[in-house]
A = this chain, B = another copy of it.
Amino acid sequence: MPMSRNRDAYAELQRLLREVDTLRSIQATLGWDQETMMPPAGAPARAEQLALVAALGHERSTDERVGALLAECEADATLLADERVAANLREIRRDYDRARRLPTALVREFAETASLSMNAWKEARQRSDFAAFAPWLAKVVELNRRKAECYTDGGSGSALYDALLDEYEPGARAADVESIFTELRGALVPMIAEVAGAAAQPDDAPFRAAVPIPAQQELGRFVLERLGFDLMAGRLDTSTHPFCEGAAAGDTRLTTRYAETRFPDALSSTLHEAGHGMYEQGLPKREFPGQPLAQSASLSIHESQSRLWENMVGRSPEFWQWLMPVAHRVLGASTHRFSPDDLYRAVNRVERTLIRVDADETTYNLHIMLRFDLERALISGDLAIADLPAAWNDRVRSDLGLEVPDDARGCLQDIHWPMAAFGYFATYTLGTLYAAQLWDAIRRDLADLPDQIARGEFGALLGWLRENVHRHGRRYPAGELCRRATGAPLDAAPLIGYLRGKLAAVYGV
C-alpha cells in the first residue's frame, strides 16, 4: 500500500470491514452446523442466532463511519494508484451501496425466515407435502421481492429478478443469461436425443455394486488429499445436500453423501465440493483479511472450480486409469471386476432423470434452465405459489419426457428456494460454461495434463487455477476474469464442443 494521507482512513476501513467479515464467518459456521450437527430441537434457537448475527453484520456494514471512510479513500489518487487497492475500494463501494438499500429489520427477518423455512422444508420434503411448505415458499418469495424492490428503488418486472441475480452474479442480467442458455439448449436437445437412440449404451453396473460406506469415505479422503485440498485447514462430513462452506481463513468445510450402492456419486460430490474448497483455500484470505479481494469473484466462478474438478477431471478416462487400482484396494471385492474404462463409461452415461443433483453433465443444464424460468415467474408473480407443482411437472414432461411421481422428486427437491435463494440456480450452468472455457485454456497451457492425471498428479492444474483464478479474489468481475484467463469473453462454444467430444467418445455419436 502506498504512503498516503488517507492511509489511516484505509486502515480503519479495513478494520471495520474485518469485523463485518468475522460476523459473516460466524453466520457461515452456524449455517454449516445447522446442516450437519444441530439436533432437530435446536432449530428455533438457531434461527434466532442467525437473525441476530445477520442484523449485527448489516448494522456494522452500513454504518455512516464506513461510508465516510470509503469516500475519503475514494478521493485519494495516491491510494487509487495501487490497482489492487482501487479494486478493493470499488468492491467495498458496491457492497456498501447495496447494503445501505436494505433496512436492517428486513435483513434480520430474511435470515430468520430462511433458517425456519429450511427446517420446514426438510419435514415437508420427507412427506412430499407441498401444501405444508407452500406458506413458507410464499413468505420467502415475498421477502425476495421486497429485497429486490429495495435494490431497485421500487422497480418492477425483469429489474426485480436482475437485482436478485446480481447478488450471486455481480453484473449479470437475466436477458443475457437467457441468451446464452438458449444457444446451449439448442445444442443440448438434439445431442440428448441422439444419445438416447445410440446403439452402444454404457453399462451402469458400477452404480449397483455394494460398497461399505467407511471404504467410500476412505477413498474420498485419499482423493481429496491427492487433489490438493488441505485437511489441516478443512473437514469432510456428511449431509443430505453436499455443500462447501468457506467459513474462515484456515477453515473450509466440505460435505458429501453416501449410499451403499452408487459409490461413483459420492466420489463425484466429493470432487465437486473439493473444487469449491480448493478455491476457498486459494483465496488470499490472510493477505486481505475480511476484504473483497479475499472473496470469490462470483458464484459462477465458484461453480466453475467445482465443475472443472468434478467433470473435466473426474469424468476423464485418465482419472479412472489412475484411481481404479486404488479403488480396487480400498473399496473391496464388489468393484474388482470393473476396469478403468467401465468406470469412465459409466460415469459419463446420459440419462434423463428427475433429480438435478443426480443428473449427468449433459442433461443437468436442462434442470437448471427449468428452475431459472420458474423462479423468474415466481418473482414476477406470473406464476402463483399454488401453481408451482403443476408448472414444474409440465416442464419436466416437455424438457425431459418424464412424469413426476411426487413433489419430493419434483419442486420440493432442492434446498435453494427454501433457504430463500432466488437468482442462484443460473450460476450452476454459467459455472459449467466457465469451466469448459477454462479447461480449453488449461489444455493449451498444460500439454502434458492428461498424462499427469493418469499418474494422479494434480499440482500443475491446481497451480494454474491458483495463478489465473484463485489469487485474484474479487479483483476482476467474472467476465473480465474469464477474458484474462482464457483470452476471450464467455461463450457457449467450449462447453458444447466439450460435450460433443465426450459423447462421441462414449456413445460413438
> CB-CB < 8 A to A52: which residues of B?
19, 22-23, 26
Q: Say yes or no: is A30 at the interface (Cβ < 8 Å to chain B).
A: yes
| Nearest CB in chain B to that of A286: its residue | B44
Query: Would you give 25 A-B contacts (Cβ < 8 Å), ordered by A?
Result: A22-B45, A22-B49, A25-B45, A25-B49, A26-B49, A26-B53, A29-B30, A29-B33, A29-B49, A33-B33, A37-B37, A38-B251, A39-B231, A39-B233, A39-B235, A39-B250, A39-B251, A40-B250, A41-B233, A41-B249, A41-B251, A42-B247, A42-B251, A45-B251, A46-B251
Q: Say yes or no: is A224 at the interface (Cβ < 8 Å to chain B).
A: no
CB within 8 Å of B: which of A181-221? none
> CB-CB < 8 A to A19: which residues of B?
52
Instruction: Check if A44 sits within 8 Å of B232, measured CB to CB.
Output: no
Q: Say yes or no: is A43 at the interface (Cβ < 8 Å to chain B).
A: yes
> CB-CB < 8 A to A234: which residues of B?
39
CB distance from A115 to the nearest CB of B (A): 13
Residues 1-41 of A, flagged 1 when their CB comes within 8 A of B and 0 if not, give 00000000000000000010011011001100100011111
Cα-based distance from A283 to B427 in the complex (angstroms): 46
Cα-based distance from A235 to B38 in the complex (angstroms): 8
> CB-CB < 8 A to A231: which residues of B?
39
Q: Say yes or no: is A351 at the interface (Cβ < 8 Å to chain B).
A: no
- Taking the full assembly, how many copies of this chain does it contain? 2
CB distance from A340 to the nearest CB of B (A): 33
CB within 8 Å of B: which of A415-452? none
> CB-CB < 8 A to A79: which residues of B?
none
Q: Say yes or no: is A301 at the interface (Cβ < 8 Å to chain B).
A: no
Number of interface residues of A (CB under 8 A): 34
B30, B39, B45, B232: the one within 8 Å of A41 (CB): B232
Cα-based distance from A52 to B18 in the complex (angstroms): 11
> CB-CB < 8 A to A44: which residues of B?
249-250
A→B interface (CB under 8 Å): 19, 22-23, 25-26, 29-30, 33, 37-46, 48-49, 52-53, 56, 230-235, 247-251
B30, B45, B250: the one within 8 Å of A45 (CB): B250
CB distance from A69 to the nearest CB of B (A): 19
Cα-based distance from A48 to B230 in the complex (angstroms): 22
Instruction: Check if A45 sits within 8 Å of B232, measured CB to CB.
Output: no
Cα-based distance from A333 to B376 in the complex (angstroms): 62
* New contact pairs (9) apart from A29-B30, A39-B232, A40-B250, CB-CB < 8 Å: A22-B48, A25-B45, A26-B49, A44-B249, A45-B249, A45-B251, A46-B251, A49-B248, A56-B56
Cα-based distance from A44 to B286 in the complex (angstroms): 11
| Nearest CB in chain B to that of A248: its residue | B45
CB distance from A416 to the nearest CB of B (A): 25
| Nearest CB in chain B to that of A27: its residue | B26
CB distance from A252 to the nearest CB of B (A): 8
Instruction: Check if B22 sits within 8 Å of A233, measured CB to CB.
Output: no
Instruction: Check if A41 sits within 8 Å of B235, measured CB to CB.
Output: no
Cα-based distance from A218 to B249 in the complex (angstroms): 36
| Nearest CB in chain B to that of A26: its residue | B49
Asked, given contacts A33-B29, A56-B56, whether A233 binds B49 with beta carbons under 8 Å apart, the answer is no
Cα-based distance from A25 to B43 in the complex (angstroms): 13
Which 10 residue pairs across A and B have the least CB separation, nearest first? Answer: A42-B251, A41-B250, A45-B248, A41-B233, A42-B250, A22-B52, A45-B249, A26-B49, A41-B232, A22-B48
Cα-based distance from A30 to B44 in the complex (angstroms): 17
| Nearest CB in chain B to that of A233: its residue | B41
Interface centre among A19, A23, A52, A231, by most B CB within 10 Å?
A: A52
Asked, given contacts A22-B52, A26-B53, whether A46 binds B232 with beta carbons under 8 Å apart, the answer is no
| Nearest CB in chain B to that of A43: its residue | B250
> CB-CB < 8 A to A56: which residues of B?
56
> CB-CB < 8 A to A39: which residues of B?
231-235, 250-251
Cα-based distance from A38 to B40 in the complex (angstroms): 21
> CB-CB < 8 A to A48: which residues of B?
22
